[in-house]
Structure 1
Amino acid sequence: MEKIVIGLRIDVRSETAEAVQKLLSEYGCYIKTRLGMHQHADESCTEKGLVILEMIDNCSEKAVELKEKLDAIEGVVAKDMKF
């Protein structure tokens, strides 16, 4: 059984959040765990962030679709890891 984790680097959260959230909601049934982190600088949030997604088992096709759609959003870089 293959484990798939997708990592996202988001460069400008205020410009990409809506598109990213729409896709995460669309593929929500295939996402087991979602962890979002933002960078912090001098008592304020920055525009950059990271999101880690653990996909459910046996959904490799959906994981590839999601990664490709996320990676197509300007300002978002998506990478996958398979174990």
Structure 2
Amino acid sequence: MAEKLPIKTVMTILVENRRETAEKVQKILTAWGCLIKTRLGLHDGVLDNCSEAGLIVLELVGSPEQHRELCDKLNKLPGVKADYMELSFDEE
């Protein structure tokens, strides 16, 4: 019998106006930190030339209900767009 491979959940978060929004996004991510296995933050620019938009990529653990609730909380913030997907090799 073949070993069942786990389902992986990846969430992406697009943040506009990072200087105004980043603190609110960070508070939500901290509150839900036990769901976050991996986090990667990307934005263009360095030093005095930082962009106002950023992208955060998360690998999540936990239940689909928890993922949906986290996504909903992030999407309530102005200038934030979050979405997630589940990936698996299983044919279900």
Calculate the TM-score normalised by the size of structure 1: 0.89
Aligned-residue offset at 1:79 = 1.1
State the shift of 1:60 in Å: 1.5
Unaligned residue ranges in structure 2 (runs of 5+): 1-5, 88-92
Q: 2:64 is matched with which residue?
A: 60
Counterpart check, 1:71 vs 2:85: no
Partner of 1:14: 19
Q: CA deviation at 1:82?
A: 1.1
**Residue 61 of structure 1: CA displacement?**
1.2
Corresponding residue pairs, total: 81
Deviation at 1:48, TM superposition (A): 0.6
1:49 partner amino acid: G
Shift of 1:6: 0.6
The alignment status of 1:35 with 2:40, answered yes or no, reads yes
Say if 2:11 is the partner of 1:2. Answer: no
Q: Which position in structure 1 is the counterpart of 2:3?
A: none
Q: Give 1:40 deviation, angstroms.
A: 2.0
Provide, for residues 31-71 of structure 1, a one-character-per-residue CA deviation record: whole Å limited to 9, x for no partner: 00010001228x61111100001001x42111111011101
Percent of aligned pairs with the same residue? 43
SS for the counterpart of 1:46 is: coil
Q: Which has the higher strand share?
A: 1
CA radius of gyration, larger in: 2
Gaps of 5+ in 1: none
